Amino acid sequence: MVRKSLVLVLALSAVSLFAQASNVERALRDLLLGRQPAPAQDNKSAGQEKPAPAAMATPPQQAPAAQPERRPRTADLLGGLLSFVAEPPQTLEEERNIGRTVAGGLLGAAPLVRDDRLQRYVNLVGRWVALQSERPDLDWHFGVIDSEDINAFAMPGGYVFVTKGLYRQLNSEGELAGVLGHEIGHVIRKHHLRMMQQTRALADLGAVVGRRMEGGSAIASNFMGNFWEAFARGLDKDAEYEADRIGMVLAARAGYDAYGLPTVLQEIGHVSASDSRVAFLFRTHPHPDDRFAKLSEAVGNRLDGLPEGKTLSDRFYRIR
Amino acid sequence: MTSHRYVRHALLSVVLLLASPLWAASGTMLRDDQLRTAASATAAVTAQVPRGANVEVLARQGGWTQIRVGGRTGWVRMLSVRATESTQRDVGGELAGVIGLGTRQADPSRVVSVAGVRGLNEQDLKAARFDAQELERLDRYVVGRAEALAYAREGGLAARTLDYLPAPAQASRQSNPWEEPQW
């Protein structure tokens, strides 16, 4: 027991040393780039969530209010410390540049579906869902890309893509809202920036941040290569589960059926694992059945008091 | 004549399916839940359905799924039961609405295996070249706050307040999920 505590203390010390080093690195970078230290943004750590009351419906609001900052609980101290360490140091501008660089790369692999009404539609729905988050005014971009794969992608800075293959699986605007909500969850919790910090991509990050990379340079393509390598390994499972919980909540906040996302997960779970359309998705995410089960555990009876939302299946734009 | 017989056969199938309340997707209970008379937590409880029970999935309404188990029909929380087969693989393509599974439309892409179509894997991504033109195209579809609000209003959507859900590790600290939640 004593030995366990000692190990924990040692681990914590190491972590806090690393935290200091990160701060030093950040301060150095600020100095080198000749700018003021970045102001704290709308960063919220995963550990700051709190249970929801059973009945949470309120009268309709005109503009959704940002969720108030919540104080971390004692039980989350360790988690809080770890997420502080992992807090990506990028400014908003840097985050945007990284997102744009990677989004441009993705579009190079799979262009947008040539359907203006479809693209406009996903932006209308996506922006409304994103408005329910604590980063309502990011430069949100949503797009449907021309691939039969069943997948969706989020990039730092507010870039969200759904493949045509996944879009075809959807049956209502509420389901679309849930899927986009999941991706928005990755963006607002900066999951990819955190992941990049832990990979080689960080080495090239310094070269990409703070300037606009149009992909021509060797550094940019090297960065993209590293990013995708990390991307192909997938995010931490917990990040996916967290994004699922956020997806349900954001869709519900937007007035949609909260159960659109689990409905989609259930359907995708029925696609055979040998189907090549889900190979990449299944490799980079927990199995949809596990994600459904985790949502089941997280929701329990917490949403019992939530009035039924809208599915808007009539308004859903069906792909040609 | 053949087509006539086909039509008669199809009609008979439809009648049989409509007449048979037994048609349903199968499902498994992921957690213990209570069977209720209606899709609401305030509806009367008629039975307990244990985790692992095999049930028939009949319909869905909001956060509730109608099931049949042990000769009883009732409602459990949508996330308490997982359909073990697609509820959308509807016979004939039109019956889904009739049995209450929503207005699912037959989509050939769901069943036809897709061979030789454009996929997207890590190799494609790593090899991809930055596409500035497509990014510019993407920029053209961006929607502002006011437009998004207007479109939501048009659809009758109103923003609601709802806290984020805690991670299940925290949730499971509650002694009994069916007791009053603690916070």
What CATH fold (topology level) applies to the domain B17-107? Answer: SH3 type barrels. (2.30.30)
Please indicate whether, in this complex, the C-beta atoms of B62 and A309 are within 8 angstroms of each other: yes
Weakest mean pLDDT among A133-142, A221-230, A297-306, B40-49: A221-230
Q: Does A224 touch chain B (CB under 8 A)?
A: yes
Nearest Cα to Cα of residue A125 among A85, A75, A184:
A184
User: Is the pLDDT score of A25 beyond 90?
Assistant: no
Q: Does B169 touch chain A (CB under 8 A)?
A: no
User: Is the pLDDT score of A85 beyond 50?
Assistant: no
Q: Does A249 touch chain B (CB under 8 A)?
A: yes
Decide: residue A73, CB within 10 A, 0-12 exposed, 13-18 middle, 19+ buried. middle
DSSP state of B29: E
CA distance A70 to B163: 11
Phi, psi angles (nearest 5°) of residue B65: -120, 135
- With residue B107 as reference, give the H or E element that holds it: none
Q: Does B175 touch chain A (CB under 8 A)?
A: no
- Name the minimum distance, in Å, from the CA of A109 to any CA of chain B: 5
Q: Which residues contact A73 (CB under 8 A, 6 or more apart)?
A: A50
pLDDT of A62: 41
> Which residues on neighbouring strands pair with residue B48, listed in sequence order?
B34
CA distance A156 to B9: 56
CA distance A6 to A16: 15
Q: Are strands B45-49 and B54-61 parallel, antiparallel or unpaired?
A: unpaired
CA distance B31 to B164: 22
AA identity, residue B21:
P
Say if CB B119 and CB A111 are below 8 A apart: no
Per-residue pLDDT of chain B (183 residues; tens, 9 = 90+): 445 665 566 555 544 444 334 456 899 999 999 999 999 999 999 999 999 999 999 999 999 999 999 999 999 999 999 998 765 543 333 333 333 343 334 343 433 333 444 668 878 888 888 899 999 999 999 999 999 999 999 999 999 999 999 998 754 444 443 333 332
Please indicate whether, in this complex, the C-beta atoms of B167 and A46 are within 8 angstroms of each other: yes
Count Cβ–Cβ pairs < 8 Å, chain A vs chain B: 303
Is this prediction's pTM over 0.80?
no
Is B82 in a helix, a strand, or coil?
A: strand
Q: Where are the domains of chain B?
A: 17-107
